Amino acid sequence: EPEVTQTPSHQVTQMGQEVILRCVPISNHLYFYWYRQILGQKVEFLVSFYNNEISEKSEIFDDQFSVERPDGSNFTLKIRSTKLEDSAMYFCASSRDSHWNIQETQYFGPGTRLLVL
Amino acid sequence: AQSVTQLDSQVPVFEEAPVELRCNYSSSVSVYLFWYVQYPNQGLQLLLKYLSGSTLVKGINGFEAEFNKSQTSFHLRKPSVHISDTAEYFCAVSPGGYNKLIFGAGTRLAVHP
């Protein structure tokens, strides 16, 4: 069964450094998402991406964050100048399509646990 | 704005007992409703979803949920749980016409022998 994969599974970085989290969505999916979960808190939506551009983003997704689909298979989340509060589990998800009035299932990857020291 | 409240952070239950995990939501627009499960060291997996139609939705692994519009609830139930059901369960809503999922805080279901 196809699945969303994410690398690395764990990442430790120093405050102020840049990190890139990588995701490989399911191959025939067109919509891509990033969510994060700070330890002990809710899973929060960050951004959705379709047709090589951001379709929606949350208040959390400020100029520090960027997303990219550099090739036909990868979807990346870049965090510039990481802060302590960026420590969280980051989930990538993808869905085949999304129409008004129909919600396609989002398939989630296993997550990348980011620790900023 | 939409929000989701999962009333129980942890639910301990004995094997073969029934279980109900509670979820309430608030929204000014119509929503779609979901339950996801997360097993240790794995991603979120869809259990079931409500889009429209019958308010009783059946999902994988014997779970079902009932949408109650008047009570703005979408509680998850299973008549007889197994040890393998031990996991974190997340209720989520998606505002009609939008892609994002808004999650509750999760309920940790612990099934004991």
| Tens digits of residue pLDDT in A102-115 | 557 889 999 999 99
Who among A42, A93, A109 is closest to B105 (CB)? A42
Nearest chain A CA: its distance from B18 CA (Å): 26
Query: Any chain A CB within 8 A of the CB of B36?
Result: yes
**Would you say residue A100 has pLDDT above 60?**
no
Chain A residues within 8 A of B44 when measuring between CB atoms: 43, 91, 93, 108
Per-residue pLDDT tens digits for B24-48 = 998 877 788 999 999 887 888 999 9
For A28, other C-beta atoms within 10 Å of its C-beta total: 9
Beta strands in chain A (DSSP E): 5-7, 10-13, 19-24, 31-37, 43-50, 53-57, 65-68, 75-79, 88-95, 107-108, 112-116
Give the model's pLDDT for residue A12. Answer: 97
| Best mutation target, A50, A95, A106, to test chain B (most B CBs within 10 A) | A106
**Would you say residue B90 has pLDDT above 90?**
yes
